[in-house]
Each structure stands twice: as structure tokens, then as C-alpha cells.
Structure 1
Amino acid sequence: MPKINSFTKLFTLFIATTVIVSMWAISVNAQVQLTERSKLALDGIGPIRVGMTVDEASRAAGVRLVKSYAPPNEEFCSYFKLQGQPQGINFMVTKSRIVRVDISNQQITTIKGIKVGDTEEQIIKAYPRQIRIIKNPLGGRGNNLIFVPQDKGDSQYRLIFETKNNRVTSFRSGQLPQVEYIEGCS
């Protein structure tokens, strides 16, 4: 049986380390991008977190955020969206910080898998004993289903599902009080 010299051992170790570091870099890069596979959490989506500035969020997502709506009192709040794909993700910004994420994209889900088109029953099942239901304050044939987290560390956040005819039409998450603004920045 041939002897393995120290050069061969060192070379093998170098190759193995290079492969491991490369795989790690690829997986980290894949996690950074904001895509339709990104999940909405109480405090953000994918790599974007509530509390980030628009520039920080753009860098984290790997795509520029551009202003999509600003009312006369822009200091109160404004909306930003991604320049490009995916569409149907809007970020409410107050005092230069992201405070809320609004979803209308039919592919994006919450961490528990709820998406546009799902039923109120699916929401209640996914978030047992943590959903508060209120009639749509703007009228119509729908409800707002509000996920109230039980963890004290998340007490300043909410996840709100808007429904019409028992189906989710949009959902949002973020910090109080902005996540509860019924008409966004209006």
C-alpha cells in the first residue's frame, strides 16, 4: 500500500476546505436575495427587517427599493417597493425606517405557509388560539384576522390577514401602531 505524503494530505485538506467555504458562500448568498420564496415573519421578510433604513434594506435584499407612494405629509409615512421582481411587496417607512411589510403577491407565504387565496379556516388552524377576528372596518364582506404573538419579545408586532368572502386578499406584518393602520399611509 503506497504511503500518502504530507503534501498530498495538505493538498486534500486545502481542496476540502475550499469546497466547504464555497458551499457556505453560495448558501449565504442565496439567503440574502429577496425572492418569491422569501417568507413573511412578524418583523420582516427574507433579509429585510423592520427597523432597517431603505438603504440597509436595499443592500440586504440585493435589489433597490424605490418610493412608490408618499402622501402630503411624507414624514408621517411613505411606501417603497422593489425595483424589479418580485412584485406585490410594499414597505411602509416612517421616520426613514421600515415599520411594516404589505403582501399582495400570491406566491409569498408567511412562515406558517399562509398566502393570498387561503381561507380564514386555514389561518385559524395555522395559528391556533392566537387569532383575533374583527369585521372589516371599511365595510364589505370580509374580516381582518390578527395574529397576536404570545412571546413577550414579539408583543410590539402583529400579522394581519385581510379577507373577502372568506379568502385572504392581502396580509401584512410589522410593528405597532403602523401595522394596524387600516388605510396604510392615507
Structure 2
Amino acid sequence: MKTLPFACMLSVLTLVACQRDDPGDPPAPVDASTPAVADAGAATPAQTQTAATATSDKDDPAAAEDAEMATLAGFGDLVLGSSEADARAAWGGELKGPADNPQDCHYLTPAWVKRPADLAFMMEAGKFVRYDVGSDRQVAPGGGRVGMSGDELQALYSGKLQSSPHKYVPEGKVLSIGAGVPGDGKLVFEAGADGKVSAWRVGLAPQVDYVEGCS
């Protein structure tokens, strides 16, 4: 057998070494702006936030801002004329106030209410008879709300609001309208001397006309 010259052997070894050390094309650079694909079984940030912030609708102040919550028949699932026990059960969330006492008049307020005058449910003789609103976050039946002028209200209610002097506020007004439906309540707006609505309430007679509330 013939032996290859040393120079030829050296050339062959060099070629093999070069082929073995060639890494080929370099990998494509990673685009940092491209988000990684999330694990299909992992919760998304939105799902995590929803789960963390989920609360009872009745314990959420935003739920009470719904324009359909306040009606002449009650507030949400609370029906005027129902027992206090039924009203508490219908609310479902926490209500702050004294325990059920069929002999007295008292108010219950949602747990999130910071100022009782903003939203309160009147109970008398063991029944839910009225609710009071002093915040512009709730909308009255028909569209009225705190901050509106008497003229705006009259236009909104087609001039059907009855007007009378306020018992305690000089130059103040009380604007009211009946339900016109047996069993439903009466809507009463209180306006200050500036003509702006400061509070409103819905309730059954005679409680809806208690100017002092339960006092």
C-alpha cells in the first residue's frame, strides 16, 4: 500500500478540523419586544385581578350607582313594606345599624357608606318603609339627583312635582311626586336656598314625610 505524502496528510487533517469547528449560521437574535407565550394552564393578570377583587355586589358602592337600583317600589331587591328580616336577607351584604326592634324607628346603612346621610334604609315597626339619599352617586326614580336645580327637576318630571316651603331651610323647597300606583312609594326632593337638591328620599306614607327622619 502506498503511503500519502506528509504534506497531503496535513492538508486532509486541517480540512476535517475546519469542518468540525464550523458552528454554522449563528442563531437569530431574540426580539425583546416579543412577549413570551404564557402557560395555557396559568391565570392571566386580568383573571388574577378579577379573582382578587371579587366582592358581593351589595358590598360594592359602584353597584348602588346603577340607575335601576332606586325605584318607587324600593331599592334594588329591598321592597318597601317588607319585614326588616326580609329586607336584610334581600340586601345580602352587610348592613350597619341596630338589631331588629319592631317597636322603634332606625336606619340601616351598607357597610361601605362613610356618611349615613349618603344612603340609608329606614325601618319602623319592623318594616322597611323608606330610603334616604344625600349623594349624587345615586339616581332617583325618573332621573333626578343631588345637585340638580328645582327648574331642572321640574323639566325632568314634566312639571308634575308639587312644591312647598322647606320646614327648616329658609327659602328652601320640598318637591315631591306620588307613585300613582297602589303600594308604591312617594318621591321627595329637598332643595336649599340656592335652589339645588341636597337630598331626596322614597318611602311610604306617613314615614316618607318625616322631615326629621327617625328623630
TM-score with structure 1 length normalisation?
0.71
Q: Which amino acid counterpart does residue 185 of structure 1 have in structure 2? A: C
C-alpha distance after superposition, 1:78-112 (max 9, x if no partner)? 11111225862111111111100000121100132
Aligned counterparts of 1:152 and 1:56: Cα–Cα separation in 2: 22
Written as runs of structure 1 = structure 2, the 5 A alignment for 1:56-95 is 56-67=86-97, 75-85=103-113, 88-95=118-125
Offset of residue 60 of structure 1? 2.1
Which is richer in strand? Answer: 1
Cα distance in 1 for partners of 2:181, 2:136 equals 31
Say which SS state the counterpart of residue 58 (structure 1) adopts: helix
**2:65 equivalent among 12, 36, 44:** 36
Q: In the TM superposition, what is the alpha-carbon distance from 1:47 to its structure 2 partner?
A: 1.6
1:114 matched to which residue of 2?
144
Distance apart, 1:74 and its partner CA:
7.8
> Any gaps of 5 or more consecutive residues in structure 2?
1-55
Q: How big is the shift at 1:129? A: 4.1
> How do 1:40-55 and structure 2 match up within 5 A?
40-55=70-85
Amino acid at match of 1:41: T
Distance 2:186 2:153 in 1: 14
Identity of aligned residues (%): 25
Q: Deviation at 1:173?
A: 0.4
Number of positions where the alignment pairs a residue of Structure 1 with one of Structure 2: 154
Residue of structure 2 equivalent to 1:173? 202
Structure 1 pair 169–113 and aligned structure 2 pair: CA distance change class (3 A)? same
**1:96 and 2:119 aligned:** no
Contact in 1 for aligned 2:72/2:141 (Cα 8 Å): no
Q: Given residue 111 of structure 2, which amino acid in structure 1 is its aligned partner?
A: Q
TM-score normalised by L of structure 2: 0.62
- Judged with a 3 Å threshold, the aligned counterparts in structure 2 of structure 1 residues 126 and 107 are, in CA distance, closer, same or farther, namely same
Report if the CA contact (8 A) 2:102-2:126 is conserved. Answer: no
SS of structure 2 residue aligned to 1:101: strand
- C-alpha spacing 1:115/1:86, structure 2 compared with 1 (3 Å): farther
Letter in 2 for 1:137: K
The DSSP-based 3-state class of the residue aligned with 2:64 is coil
Structure 1 CA distance for aligned equivalents of residues 198 and 162 of structure 2: 17
SS of the equivalent of 2:182 reads: helix
Distance 1:76 1:59 in 2: 20
Check the 8 A contact 2:132/2:202 in 1, yes or no: yes
Q: Distance in 2 between matches of 1:160 and 1:182?
A: 10
State the alpha-carbon separation in 2 of the partners of residues 167 and 183 from structure 1: 20
Cα displacement (A) at 1:137: 1.2
Choose 1 or 2 for highest CA Rg. 2
For 1:52 and 1:101, locate their aligned partners in 2 and report how far apart those are by CA, in whole Å. Answer: 13
Runs of 5+ unmatched residues, structure 1: 1-28
Q: 1:120 & 1:126 partners in 2: Cα distance?
A: 10
